[in-house]
Amino acid sequence: MRLPVSLATFVLFVACCFSAPASVRADTAPAQTAWRLLDYISVDYGGAVADGRVVSASEYAEMVEFGERIRTYIIALPPTPGQPSLVKHAETLQAAIGRKAPASEVAGLAKALASDLLAAYPIPLAPSKAPDLAHGAALYQQQCVGCHGATGAGDGQDAKGLTPPPTAFNNEGRARQRSIFGLYQVIDQGLDGTAMPSFAHLSSDDRWALAFFVGRFAYSDARGGEQLWHSDPGVRQLIPNLQALTQLTPAVLAQAIGDEKAPALTAFLRQHPEATMSGVGGTMSLARHRLAESVSAYVAGNRPKAIELALSAYLDGFEPVEPVLKARDSALMVRIEAAMGELRAAISKNESAETVRERAERLSALFDAAERALSPQEASIGSSFAGAFTILLREGLEALLVVVAMIAFLRKAERADVLPYVHGGWIAALAAGGMTWGAATYLISISGASRELTEGFGSLIAAVVLVSVGLWMHGKAQADAWQRYVHEKLSHALSRKSAWFLFLLAFVVVYREVFETVLFYAAMWSQGSGLAILAGAAAGAVTLAGIAWALLRYSRRLPIARFFSLSSMLIAILAVILAGKGIAALQEAGLLDIQPLRGLPRVEMLGIYPTWQGALVQSFVLIVMLAGFWYTGRSAAVRQ
């Protein structure tokens, strides 16, 4: 049994498991710099001008310079339909500074332009995970304490003689107007005309951790903030996710909940940003926000960014709750995936802004339905049990069929000495799945893209291997004197190299399903009854064991030619199914475009998804299998 597979193929599969797809990004550096200067003007202009008079010549000169730089940076941005309007607004801001307009007017103009700038040239607004504040404290001691001082008062030993002096982070009057995102931008790019350098050499996670730590100096008293956060649903709705927290200034929060409550809540959330990331509401809010950003970017003419944000709405916002929704309302989950594909296709085809907006509105309505289905009151014991049972049964059945076919084949061939390789493969896959669960829980955050890529590449590799296995088995079903072939040739055919191939095949097909099941169960565990989930998993495992026993027992009664004929057809069907699932997963990860195929039904169990790419690949696999079956049958007839 010599099959065309190499260790390099398997290494490629492992390498692709946790890689993210490359995204097309516009050059947003000028936009970031302009946004940072606008934030600075909105906060500090009042220290330069009061009552129409200059109160600090040096600061006023800085405001004039920054106004001119903002206009220059916006002109330097990649052209979009919205760029001329941004330039006009920048000139309006310049004129207001030039005539020494009131601070409230200048701040309003600066904030409005900053908001429009982000809509036209979106940039990362929040960290992908809760920042490590202990690490942020260590970074502050290493990088910042020399100028800004141990308490953030701007009185470090290196601060003497600096003009302007370092920012005093503990000044609540200034801190009220500054968001965490604003702090992050300054840390990222520095501040022209001051001694503040760029810390872009730090990782993004480090810069966010530093921004959150710095943002705590003016808000250290969190008494009452935690109770307010947990007891008031309206407050949690106001700050539904980490992105909303990073953009919110304490002043805006005070307008919403009052000056008495805002400082304590600000202190609590800046000390515990992870509080905004728990529960379904956070991820669904992120999905809606990215969806709105995608539409804004598309309207502004930035199509690559619109595609990227639409993909993020699915992978970062909806994907984390998909396992639970799939267990509770699989039909709704299918509708959301289809609507997301239609939105991305509309953006890719450069359809009208109105069409894109309509598709986004439909998707947002589906998100609302999903959030209702995912509410805690819907997490009954029965739904948790049923979800755990069906997930394990569905995910495990494909792998089970392949492994059972290999075991039955080896028993028919009287090669029990090779069985340990097959058993070792699926056992190693289960162990790797356990390590994946540990890594996803304690070490890394497995993104939606990584999950889809793992499923996609795993499915396609398994499909390629199964095509080879199916053709080989079909050839043996037609061969004369099978028993003589077994005894005389099988020892050579099943060499140690091929035995290790069986190990790798068992590992790949089982790990693909284990990886998916682990992430499904992890998501369900946070939403449903733990005992019900364990009971459902146990019932699913018993059912799979029963199916395996029945298949193995039935295979022993089949004549060898009949066995190989049925096995080859089963493997051919599985190859077509896995090819379809692999293409669909790579499309959901953003690695492949989506071109909807009207009139084709979606049958997930058969790997049929209504896209041209999936249909073409499945058709190709089916043609290869049919042609291969014809060729092996013809060759066997000639030999006879």
Q: Concatenate the DSSP letters of all residues of 441-458 into one string.
A: III----HHHHHHHHHHH
Beta bridge partners of 259: none
User: φ, ψ for residue 611 (rounded to 5)?
Assistant: -135, 150
pLDDT band at 6 (very low <50, low <70, confident <90, very high): very low
Pull the structure tokens for residue 100: 């020494």
How many CA within 13 A on the CB side of residue 527? 32
Tokens matching residue 277: 């990331």
Higher pLDDT, 509 or 214: 214
Model confidence pTM above 0.75:
no
Euclidean distance between CA atoms 404 and 544, whole angstroms: 11
Cα–Cα distance measured from residue 215 to residue 178, given in angstroms and rounded to the nearest whole number: 9
Q: Nearest to residue 601, comparing CAs of 314, 365, 344, 334?
A: 334
Q: What is the mean pLDDT of the chain?
A: 77
Q: Which of 6-10, 260-264, 462-466 has the highest mean pLDDT?
A: 260-264
The terminus-to-terminus CA distance of the chain in angstroms comes to: 21
How does residue 70 score in pLDDT terms, banded at 50, 70 and 90? very high
Average pLDDT over residues 87-107: 93
Asked if 185 and 199 count as a contact pair (C-beta separation under 8 A), the reply is no
Helix (H) or strand (E) holding 488: helix 482-493
Residue pair 270/183 in contact by the 8 Å Cβ criterion:
no
The predicted structure's pLDDT at residue 236: 75
Looking at residue 638, its pLDDT comes to: 55
Taking only the tens place, the pLDDT of each residue in 300-356 is: 888 888 888 888 788 777 876 776 777 677 788 888 888 888 898 899 889 999 999
Q: How many residues belong to the chain?
A: 640
**Choice among 79-93, 182-196, 225-239, 562-576 with the minimum mean pLDDT:** 562-576
- Beta carbons of 326 and 386 less than 8 angstroms apart: no
Q: Which range (67-81, 298-312, 566-580) has the least confidence?
A: 566-580
With beta carbons less than 8 A apart as the criterion, state whether 582 and 457 touch: yes
What pLDDT score was predicted for residue 487?
46
Q: How far, in Å, CA of 568 to CA of 474, rounded?
A: 5
Collect all residues with Cβ–Cβ distance below 8 Å to 341 and sequence separation of at least 6: 587, 594, 596, 611
Whole-number pLDDT of residue 102? 93
420, pLDDT greater than 50: yes
Q: Residue 403 CB: number of other CB atoms within 10 A?
A: 22
- Omega of the bond prior to 164 within 30 degrees of 0, cis? yes
Instruction: Write the CA distances from 378 to 262, 328, 384, 537, 621, integer angstroms.
Output: 33, 8, 10, 20, 41
- In the numeric block, which tokens belong to residue 614? 């999936």
Give dist(CA 557, CA 551) in Å, integer.
10
CA 388 to chain centre: 23
CA distances from residue 180 to 35, 356, 406, 468, 596 in whole angstroms, order as listed: 13, 32, 57, 55, 41
Q: Comparing C-alpha atoms, which of 300, 296, 293 is closest to residue 79?
A: 300
Which distant-in-sequence residues (6+ apart) come within 8 Å of 490 by Cβ? 1, 413, 415
- pLDDT tens for 146-166 read 999 999 999 999 888 888 888
Q: Where are the beta strands (DSSP E) in 415-459?
A: none
Region label for 481, one of left (φ > 0), alpha (ψ between -120 and 50) or beta (otherwise): left
- Among 46-50, 261-265, 386-390, 580-584, the range scoring the smallest mean pLDDT is 386-390
- Check if the beta carbon of residue 175 is closer than 8 Å to that of residue 215: yes
Q: How high is the pLDDT of residue 24?
A: 30
Report d(CA 224, CA 218) in Å as an integer: 16
Please name which of 518, 530, 525 lies closest in space to residue 432, comparing C-alpha atoms. Answer: 518
In whole angstroms, give the CA distance from residue 341 to residue 523.
Answer: 23
Number of H helices, E strands in the chain: 28, 2
Query: Considering only CA atoms, which of 107, 108, 72 is closest in space to residue 91?
Result: 72
Instruction: Tell me the angle at which helices 57-75 and 29-44 cross, rounded to the nearest 10 degrees.
Output: 150
H/E stretch holding 255 reads: helix 250-257
